[in-house]
Structure 1
Amino acid sequence: METAKPSISIVIPAFNEESVIRQCLFAAHYQSVPAAEIIVVDNMSTDRTAELVRQVQGEYPDAPIKLLHQDEEQGLIPTRNFGLDQATGDVIGRIDADSVLEPDWVEQVQKAFMDPEVMAATGPVLYYDMPLRRFGLQADDRMRRFVLKLAKKQYHFLFGSNMALRRGAWDIIRQDVCRDEADEMHEDIDVSVHLADHALKILYVPEMVSGMSARRLEDSPKDYRYYVTRFDRTYANHKIKNRVLQVPRLIFMGVYYPAKLLRRVHQARTKQVAPRGGI
């Protein structure tokens, strides 16, 4: 008897994401294998995020798009947790509001979770608002494979813009994941550590590709450094000491200035070739 393919929920935490939420929803909807549900969890947005989600629901009434509200407290972690708790799929995809999934993302997630031992999965990202996008995808993929190899597969961390969890795995770690009220850590790495604590298998899937914005490069050097050093604070919080785990931080810090320059050049060229007039 053929094993049934798992149903896939997609959860999208959102706070003031009016500039990106429509393209995120379109990509999540137009999949080679449809998601069982696409859940946007609005976290007290003060812009048109919720309005635009309702607009897409009206334009595509057959799309399984749900708009939920998490109004108890501000923050990504409580909003993420609320969405994962509400999801009904066998597997829960978790992406960001600026994520743009490749058209076969749900299909690739289904394939990965056909293995009953796989409890979580993650893949590479494509920075869609940078030049040389496919080269960037290859570089991202190689970096993740390199770090995994160096760590001898002892550590494998999920990426918040492109990850999926088996429902049963989330139920196991739900009460363990850190609240991080001080907002000092990488919440996706925290989830990964708790999965590892329970010996739950995380799989890296190169074919599971999500686009994401490089808008983090718009941060000031100080803010960007604080973001990147969340790696160190997350490891320290979990008392993890492994020099290999410093590699992602060093890479992200090293590419900041050249990537920022490339992004500015790309934005300038895009403006120059944009058609005049129209919408």
Structure 2
Amino acid sequence: MSKILIDLTVAIPTYNGAKRLPLVLEKLHEQVDTENIAWEIIIVDNNSTDETARIVRDYQANWQKPFPLKYCLETEQGAAFARKKAVKEAQGNLIGFLDDDTLPAPNWVAAAYKFAREHPQAGAYGSQVHGDYEVEPPANFDRIASFFAITERGDKPHLYEPSLKMLPPSAGLVVRKQAWCENVPEQPFLSGRSGKSILNSEDLEVVMYIQNAGWEVWYNSEMEIYHQIKRDRLTREYLLYLMRSTGLARHHIRMLRLKPWQRPLFFPLGLAKDLQKAIAYFLKNRNLLEKDVVAACEMEFLRSSVISPFYLWRISLKI
């Protein structure tokens, strides 16, 4: 019997996602216009301590769809390791990543496959990501919404030009397996937030390697997902933590945009620019930092960006 070729793998890394996964799977169960697409779903359990494995087994036992539902375990903690495991296990030429709290629109799979066929030079392309909030977010939340992968850049696809220094998040991201395997290092520097690391932006690191290799990176407005944001992620404490974890990784992301010989030259310029921004923001908004959570978040991101190269240097000495 000949082996069925898979066009698209939908990979869902999850950590303790037993309560969140069912709704994501239901949305994938309801995908439309996929009759001519060979696709599969892989749940990557990132060492969960809840009932994630049992939940997936229960779904597998009753799965009636022609596209398979698979499960694999990644014991190394961190989103980067879970995504790397997904790439290794994926049978598809395309790999679409969903988080366990992101719900795809009914045509997401079809739109992802269609875009790849129309843009053969696209090594990665992101979705239009909307926020679905359990409670009303703070005033002026739109200024920091991108830190939650919210990506609403209009109704037309567009190319992420390297000079604009903007890239899509991992939520709703589709990559060509070839582009990943040929260009993303086996051992990433950023692993994602876990018990061992506070650092964020591991998704941007992957996309930057793909873009730096000459592949195009796109925003595909026809792929829409909805990021469910629970109330505990809108607290001041969590928001500041998110800003800190992203800001502390900024130096590494910035350096990836440069050639090795450029990095020693641009490092002091980038540091000076970050320091100038942080001081100017503090002087302008210092009276708002206690009562305005968004202003406090912006200040924390700028502060962490200044600290970033020294923090990363200290981390590298421990590795």
TM-score (norm 1): 0.73
Contact persistence 2:134–2:231 (CA under 8 A): no
**Residue equivalent to 2:194:** none
Sequence identity, in percent? 22
**Residue equivalent to 1:179:** 189
Using the alignment, how far apart are the partners of 1:11 and 1:127 within structure 2?
A: 21
Residue type of the alignment partner of 1:162: G
Contact persistence 2:123–2:211 (CA under 8 A): no
Number of aligned positions between the proteins: 239
Structure 1 stretches lacking a partner, 5+ long? 258-279
Question: How far 1:256 sits from its partner (Å)?
Answer: 9.3
Using the alignment, how far apart are the partners of 2:183 and 2:46 within structure 1?
A: 23
**Residue equivalent to 1:119:** 123
Matched, 1:104 2:107: yes
Question: CA separation of 1:54/1:194 partners in 2, compared to 1, >3 Å: closer, same or farther?
Answer: same
User: 1:141 is paired with a residue of what secondary structure?
Assistant: coil
Matched, 1:60 2:70: no
User: 1:213 is paired with a residue of what secondary structure?
Assistant: strand
Structure 2 stretches lacking a partner, 5+ long? 137-141, 192-196, 258-269, 282-292, 298-319
User: 2:110 is paired with a residue of what secondary structure?
Assistant: helix
User: 1:122 is paired with a residue of what secondary structure?
Assistant: strand
After TM superposition, the structure 1 = structure 2 runs for residues 125-274 of structure 1, keeping only pairs within 5 Å, are 125-130=129-134, 140-142=151-153, 154-175=164-185, 178-180=188-190, 182-215=197-230, 218=233, 220-238=235-253, 239=255, 241=270, 254=294
**Residue equivalent to 1:94:** 97
Using the alignment, how far apart are the partners of 1:187 and 1:109 within structure 2?
A: 22
* CA deviation profile, 1:42-62 (whole Å, cap 9, x unmatched): 122111111111111122243
Question: CA separation of 1:143/1:230 partners in 2, compared to 1, >3 Å: closer, same or farther?
Answer: farther
**Residue equivalent to 1:41:** 44
Contact persistence 1:126–1:210 (CA under 8 A): yes
Question: How far 1:175 sits from its partner (Å)?
Answer: 1.6
Contact persistence 2:42–2:69 (CA under 8 A): yes
Question: CA separation of 1:229/1:192 partners in 2, compared to 1, >3 Å: closer, same or farther?
Answer: farther
Using the alignment, how far apart are the partners of 1:42 and 1:203 within structure 2?
A: 28
Residue type of the alignment partner of 1:171: C
User: 1:91 is paired with a residue of what secondary structure?
Assistant: strand
Indicate the RMSD between aligned Cα atoms, in angstroms: 3.5
Out of 12-21 and 166-175, give the one that drifted further.
Answer: 166-175
* CA deviation profile, 1:84-126 (whole Å, cap 9, x unmatched): 1110111100110111110000111112111211111102212
User: 1:128 is paired with a residue of what secondary structure?
Assistant: strand
